[in-house]
Amino acid sequence: MAKKPSVKKATGKLGILLPGMGAVATTVIAGVHAVNAGKSQPIGSLTQMGRLRIGKRTGGTKKPLIKEVVPIQDLKKVVFGGWDLFDDNVYEAASHAQVLDQNLLDSLKRPLSKIKPMKAVFNKNYVKRLDGKHVKRGKTKMALAKQIMKDIENFKKDNKCNRVVMVWCGSTEIYIEESAVHQTVASLEKGMKENHKDIAPSMLYAYAAIKMGIPYANGAPNLSCDVPALVELAKETGSPIAGKDFKTGQTLMKTILAPGLKARALGIEGWFSTNILGNRDGAVLDDPDNFKTKEVSKMGVLDQILEPKLYPELYKDLYHKVRINYYPPRGDAKEGWDNIDIRGWLNYPMQIKVDFLCRDSILAAPIVLDLALFLDLAKRADMSGIQEWLSFYLKSPQAGKGLQPEHDIFKQLAKLENTLRHMVGEDLINHLGLDYYEN
Ligand SMILES: NC(=O)c1ccc[n+]([C@@H]2O[C@H](COP(=O)([O-])OP(=O)(O)OC[C@H]3O[C@@H](n4cnc5c(N)ncnc54)[C@H](O)[C@@H]3O)[C@@H](O)[C@H]2O)c1
């Protein structure tokens, strides 16, 4: 049995703070209220429904619920807050997003109406298709970050929370390359005081949380906490961080299918992915600068999984194309098509077609919840900096300096499960299955 690390208990209330209270955020908030009221099930959430194999298979396999093995925060003791540039409360914003059935939302109107967004730190230069009035004013980016910190303190006090975590659910910002200003905490802070243009609002929320020792995850593809300065700060303040971009829909499918095809040494010469979606996220991504951020996030996946340099005969000429088309009639009910041209024995061609009629926010909501609860767990286990074991949830996972992120969903899951086992001192499982290993 491995040495048992100490994980503090999940006592008292946990505040989950969400910058950006649009479709995804309101779907997770309304969903948690619905689950707590016994109206529905938290499907898609490992922290609520997942099981973890513990110990050896000899003598009967034990697979308790994850939440029975590791001390996850009780869902009944979670409160939500957040920020948005529109002042709609969560009931209004969820009704506007049209993800969840209106009857369900009406039945939760009282608690949801009470959750009102705080004023956002927003700048139209970074999200060109949005304009809202519910925004903070401040002379410098540092002054704005301090206002966010004040909001967090007030929220914690008003809601009597023992701990808080933050998950960015705001719009995708324009593409910004990592540059000198992002390299150290000192350069970032200087840049914030001088209103450097490469510091977008999402980075100010990340800075505020991390500076206060609060766990932070980024659900969008913009840089946010994925810069050396914030990794350094996270280590200094003991904050676990994770990013970027929730792995839902098409990329989820890609990271399920590609490892399977590669496992069988099947060649792939083309993978064409196209989507139609009509929610506010789709409208934002209709702008080329904002789409560029998403495109970069989506493109890395196949290269890392297939390793064309190691398998040139199978993947060297792979043509990979990703398109997102804004199509308002579909709202949040996205449709993602994939055409995959594969090659088999003696180079014979075959095709796979995937038509995923998915629901974006329905897939994203359990990810937000799990990231929040697992990051809170990591904090209580004294883990800080990049949490690679949470790559499972992310399209463009953040990895340590000089390391390639892992995209294969099965390897990501093995890492997540073994990290949980390690946290509570259980033996890690390697699936060798040999008699003398008994596992
Ligand atoms: N739904 C998915 O499957 C999915 C998957 C991966 C990533 N994402 C990302 O998650 C994010 C949220 O998606 P969504 O569908 O809820 O979008 P949405 O447009 O419905 O909601 C985003 C909200 O963020 C607000 N916002 C923008 N900038 C802000 C700021 N600086 N401060 C506070 N609020 C701000 C907007 O007003 C909006 O209400 C997007 O960046 C999206 O790309 C979503």
Tokens representing residue 61 in the block: 């396999």
pLDDT of residue 67: 96
Tokens representing residue 323 in the block: 């398109």
Tell me the average pLDDT across 58-65: 84
Alpha-carbon gap, residue 244 to 46, rounded angstroms: 19
pLDDT at residue 419 tops 60: yes
Distances from the Cα of 391 to the Cα of 219, 252, 396, angstroms: 11, 12, 8
Closest Cα to atom 31 of ligand 1: 122
User: Of the ranges 63-67, 143-147, 177-181, 333-337, which one carries the lowest mean pLDDT score?
Assistant: 333-337
pLDDT of residue 294: 73
Residues contacting ligand 1 via CB (< 6 Å): 19-25, 83-86, 97, 120-122, 127, 130, 132, 169-172, 201, 219-220, 245-246, 248-249, 279-281, 284, 360-361, 363-364
pLDDT at residue 85 tops 70: yes
Q: How far is the CA of 164 from the centre of ligand 1 (A)?
A: 20
Choose one of 121, 281, 292 to mutate for the ligand 1 pocket test, by most ligand atoms within 8 angstroms of C-beta: 281
pLDDT of residue 286: 81
Alpha-carbon gap, residue 56 to 79, rounded angstroms: 38
Q: How far is the CA of 7 from the centre of ligand 1 (A)?
A: 32
pLDDT at residue 93 tops 70: yes
Long-range contacts of 181-189 (CB under 8 A, 24+ apart): 182/223, 182/227, 182/228, 182/229, 182/230, 183/227, 183/228, 183/229, 184/228, 184/229, 184/232, 185/229, 185/232, 185/233, 185/236, 187/229, 188/227, 188/229, 188/230, 188/233, 189/142
Closest to 214 in 3D by CA, of 136, 147, 156: 156
Q: How far is the CA of 294 from the centre of ligand 1 (A)?
A: 12
Q: How far is the CA of 24 from the centre of ligand 1 (A)?
A: 7
pLDDT at residue 216 tops 90: yes
pLDDT of residue 26: 98
Closest Cα to atom 25 of ligand 1: 20
Q: Is the separation of the CB atoms in 66 and 389 below 8 Å? A: no
pLDDT of residue 3: 60
pLDDT of residue 312: 97
Closest Cα to atom 17 of ligand 1: 281
Closest Cα to atom 18 of ligand 1: 22
Q: Which CATH architecture has domain 250-357?
A: 2-Layer Sandwich (3.30)
Domain boundaries, the chain: 13-246+362-423, 250-357
Q: How far is the CA of 119 from the centre of ligand 1 (A)?
A: 15
Alpha-carbon gap, residue 182 to 24, rounded angstroms: 28
pLDDT of residue 399: 92
Atom of ligand 1 nearest to the CA of 86: 37
pLDDT of residue 57: 75
Mean pLDDT over each residue of the chain, to the nearest integer: 93
Tell me the average pLDDT across 202-221: 97
Closest Cα to atom 5 of ligand 1: 246
pLDDT of residue 121: 97
Atom of ligand 1 nearest to the CA of 22: 21
Please report which residue ranges of 278-433 form alpha helices under DSSP H. 280-285, 288-306, 312-315, 360-380, 409-423
Closest Cα to atom 32 of ligand 1: 120
Q: Give the model's confidence band at 4: pLDDT under 50 very low, under 70 low, under 90 confident, else very high.
A: low
pLDDT at residue 351 tops 80: yes
Handedness of CA 183, 121, 100, 68 (dihedral sign): positive
pLDDT of residue 56: 77
Superfamily of domain 13-246+362-423: NAD(P)-binding Rossmann-like Domain (3.40.50.720)
Whose tokens are 């560029």? That residue is 292
pLDDT of residue 129: 86
Amino acid at 426: E
Closest Cα to atom 2 of ligand 1: 360
Atom of ligand 1 nearest to the CA of 360: 3
249 backbone φψ class: left, alpha, beta (φ>0; ψ -120 to 50)? left
Q: How far is the CA of 15 from the centre of ligand 1 (A)?
A: 19
| 3-state SS assignment for residue 350 | strand
Atom of ligand 1 nearest to the CA of 280: 19
pLDDT at residue 430 tops 80: no
Q: Tens digits of per-residue pLDDT, 262-315?
A: 999 999 999 999 999 888 878 888 888 888 877 776 778 999 999 999 999 999
Tell me the average pLDDT across 358-380: 97
Q: Tens digits of per-residue pLDDT, 11-43?
A: 999 999 999 999 999 999 999 999 999 999 999
Choose one of 18, 24, 26, 83 to mutate for the ligand 1 pocket test, by most ligand atoms within 8 angstroms of C-beta: 24
Atom of ligand 1 nearest to the CA of 283: 19
Q: Tens digits of per-residue pLDDT, 240-256?
A: 999 999 999 899 999 99
Tell me the average pLDDT across 5-14: 92
Q: How far is the CA of 22 from the centre of ligand 1 (A)?
A: 6
Tell me the average pLDDT across 41-66: 90
| 3-state SS assignment for residue 255 | helix
